[in-house]
């Protein structure tokens, strides 16, 4: 008991420190306007469980002055570190799922028309909408041509964003360029929208000397300091706790920006997903977690990935405001990310967005998805739920786009992609010495020996090594 009290005092003083830090940071978090306050039926008030309202509970001496009656609200709740918890005499387990699934926010139907009874307010200008459409189309064509280039043996590996163009481009359009991106690997559309050129993409995929990674990484591992886009890294979900940390640094520096991190449904099975969300929630870090729930993690269907109603519910478990959206409706993605960014930056808090979509392409060029999923399923998403076609219909109905512009744009993009691949192919590879540079100021002896051995081996067996790498 004594240990319990002394621990609870320690936690109390930690919380007090936390309160002071919040004041110091000028957090504008306001629970009076919380959307959860009135909707939650099991919980009387956030004050009962939120650490930042911990000190609304009574002191022990105050309690002694009040009646001991069972009707007394003070007695009906447990004064616990972190806030009061209501008592109940009803033994009731929280059900593993609710009867109704969390609804999915959308604005456009599959014909690109505004859905009836929606309270959509047009925030998107013609200029933004047309740029978004052009970028979605560029992403689709670029993916097609790079994929083909891999099939021809010109690139060693590739991953497409087919079916996820709206999440990529519409989320990017709703952010500012100061917002920092920590991607998984299927979000190169965000980089494209920020101005990374087709030649820069091709240089990375070809691993030539113009590649910022100096050819050391697999294709599609893009990164750009200029565009505030962290490098893709292969191990799934490592970007999530990092995103919480980067966001916390923005908070410390009082920057008018947030972090946006992307991940797949498969990524949520990693411990890093849970660590990242919890860290961000506790530290009140301005980060938007965007989950692209595309139904599959390579050949693992979501039914084998989790038993919850998707990912959106997990946000509330960590104390994070969350929304589920139609990831194939570019307008819905844009609106939701726009609002999420505003809350993340203004209220200094994390937000979780679950975007429902579908990976129309194979996982990568090393995969054949027809081996584990039905062709009908792929076709349905490719044809009826195609995010590029849905958005195109909407901009056409506004009079912002025509078939003539479409034909001209398609022709131009194809030419530009082809040219980018050809120029990148002709560009020299980085010299062999670059394989050993940039980690140490002075390479240690073992690295020097490895470089020497590699050079000797190449000299002995030149036929086994690429002739276009300067030795
Ligand atoms: C830690 C880790 N485990 C396994 C892998 C192998 N792997 C690469 S992609 C992938 C599936 C990820 O699926 P998801 O997060 O849903 O993204 P999607 O490919 O659907 O966009 C797996 C298991 C990895 N790269 N890192
Ligand atoms: Mg997936």
Q: Which helix (H) or strand (E) holds 32?
A: none
Q: Is 427 in the pocket of ligand 1 (CB under 6 A)?
A: no
- Residue 309 in tokens: 């109603």
Rounded-to-integer distance, Cα 167 and Cα 262, Å: 10
Q: Assess whether pLDDT exceeds 60 at residue 18.
A: no
Label residue 120 by pLDDT band (50, 70, 90).
low
Region 348-352: mean pLDDT is 98
What's domain 126-426's architecture? Answer: 3-Layer(aba) Sandwich (3.40)
Q: Separation of 314 CA from ligand 1 center, angstroms?
A: 19
Q: Any idea which residue has 């593993």 for tokens? A: 96
Task: Please state whether 310 falls in left (phi above 0), alpha (psi between -120 and 50) or beta.
Answer: left
234 catalytic? Reply is: yes
Q: Assess whether pLDDT exceeds 50 at residue 15.
A: no
406 catalytic? Reply is: no
Rounded-to-integer distance, Cα 468 and Cα 409, Å: 35
Region 370-380: mean pLDDT is 98
Rounded-to-integer distance, Cα 471 and Cα 449, Å: 16
Label residue 74 by pLDDT band (50, 70, 90).
low
Q: Separation of 298 CA from ligand 2 center, angstroms?
A: 7
What local confidence, expressed as pLDDT, does residue 466 receive? 87
The closest alpha carbon to 334, from 107, 104, 109, belongs to: 107
Region 42-63: mean pLDDT is 40
364 catalytic? Reply is: yes
The closest alpha carbon to 162, from 370, 394, 381, belongs to: 381
- Reported as a single tens digit per residue, the pLDDT across 432-456 is 999 999 999 999 999 999 999 999 9
Q: Is 187 in the pocket of ligand 1 (CB under 6 A)?
A: no
Rounded-to-integer distance, Cα 307 and Cα 96, Å: 9
What local confidence, expressed as pLDDT, does residue 7 receive? 39
Averaged pLDDT score across all residues of the chain? 88
What local confidence, expressed as pLDDT, does residue 355 receive? 99
- Reported as a single tens digit per residue, the pLDDT across 283-301 is 999 999 999 999 999 999 9
Rounded-to-integer distance, Cα 144 and Cα 150, Å: 10
Annotated catalytic residue within 45, 57, 364, 369: 364
Task: Give the rounded percent of residues in the chain with a pLDDT score beyond 90.
Answer: 80
Shortest-distance atom of ligand 1 to CA 268: 15
Q: Separation of 168 CA from ligand 2 center, angstroms?
A: 14
Label residue 25 by pLDDT band (50, 70, 90).
very low
Please state the φ and ψ torsions of residue 302, each to the nearest 5 degrees: -60, -25
Shortest-distance atom of ligand 1 to CA 238: 1
Region 402-408: mean pLDDT is 98
Q: Strand 259-264 relative to strand 180-182: parallel, antiparallel, unpaired?
A: parallel
- Residue 429 in tokens: 């590879």
Q: Assess whether pLDDT exceeds 80 at residue 459.
A: yes
Q: Separation of 307 CA from ligand 1 center, angstroms?
A: 19
Coil/strand/helix, residue 346? helix
Residue 121, C-beta contacts closer than 8 angstroms, at least 6 positions apart: none
Per the DSSP assignment, residues forming a β-bridge with 175 are none
Q: Strand 300-301 relative to strand 259-264: parallel, antiparallel, unpaired?
A: unpaired
Name the more confident of 201 and 43.
201
The closest alpha carbon to 263, from 343, 182, 169, belongs to: 182
Q: Assess whether pLDDT exceeds 90 at residue 119.
A: no
Shortest-distance atom of ligand 1 to CA 186: 21
User: Which pTM does this prediction carry?
Assistant: 0.86
What local confidence, expressed as pLDDT, does residue 71 receive? 65
Per the DSSP assignment, residues forming a β-bridge with 296 are 301
DSSP state of 118: -
């Amino acid at each position: 008991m004594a240990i319990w009290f002394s621990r609870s005092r320690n936690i109390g003083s930690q919380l007090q420190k936390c309160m002071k830090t919040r004041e110091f940071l000028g957090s504008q978090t306001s629970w009076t306007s919380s959307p959860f306050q009135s909707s939650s039926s099991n919980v009387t008030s956030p004050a009962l469980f939120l650490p930042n309202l911990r000190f609304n509970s009574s002191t022990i001496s105050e309690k002694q002055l009040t009646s001991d009656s069972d009707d007394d609200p003070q007695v009906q709740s447990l004064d616990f570190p972190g806030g009061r918890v209501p008592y109940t005499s009803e033994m009731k387990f929280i059900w593993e799922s609710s009867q109704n699934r969390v609804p999915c926010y959308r604005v456009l139907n599959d014909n690109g028309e505004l859905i009836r009874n929606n309270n959509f307010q047009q925030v998107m200008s013609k200029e933004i909408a047309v740029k978004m459409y052009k970028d979605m189309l560029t992403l689709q064509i670029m993916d097609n041509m790079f994929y083909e280039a891999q099939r021809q043996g010109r690139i060693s590996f590739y991953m497409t964003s087919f079916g996820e163009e709206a999440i990529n481009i519409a989320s990017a359009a709703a952010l500012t360029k100061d917002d920092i991106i920590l991607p998984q690997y299927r979000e190169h559309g965000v980089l494209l929208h920020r101005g990374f050129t087709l030649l820069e993409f091709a240089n990375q995929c070809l691993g030539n000397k113009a590649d910022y990674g100096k050819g050391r990484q697999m294709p599609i591992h893009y990164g750009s300091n200029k565009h505030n886009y962290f490098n893709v890294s292969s191990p799934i979900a490592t970007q999530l706790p990092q995103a919480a940390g980067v966001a916390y640094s923005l908070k410390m520096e009082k920057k008018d920006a947030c972090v946006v991190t992307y991940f797949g449904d498969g990524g949520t099975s990693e411990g890093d997903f849970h660590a990242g969300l919890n860290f961000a929630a506790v530290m009140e870090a301005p980060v938007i977690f965007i989950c692209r729930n595309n139904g599959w993690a390579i050949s693992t269907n979501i039914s084998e990935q989790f038993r919850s109603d998707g990912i959106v519910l997990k946000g509330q478990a960590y104390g994070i405001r969350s929304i589920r959206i139609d990831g194939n409706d570019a307008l819905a993605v844009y609106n939701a990310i726009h609002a999420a960014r505003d809350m993340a930056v203004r209220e200094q808090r994390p937000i979780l967005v679950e975007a429902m979509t579908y990976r129309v392409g194979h996982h990568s060029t090393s995969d054949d998805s027809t081996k584990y999923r039905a062709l009908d399923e792929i076709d349905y998403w490719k044809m009826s739920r195609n995010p590029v076609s849905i958005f195109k219909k909407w901009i056409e109905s506004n009079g912002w786009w025509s078939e003539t512009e479409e034909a001209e744009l398609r022709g131009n993009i194809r030419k530009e992609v082809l040219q980018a691949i050809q120029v990148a192919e002709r560009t020299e590879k980085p010299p062999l010495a670059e394989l050993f540079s940039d980690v140490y100021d002075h390479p240690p002896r073992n690295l020097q020996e490895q470089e020497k051995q590699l050079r000797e081996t190449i000299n002995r067996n030149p036929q086994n090594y690429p002739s276009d790498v300067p030795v």
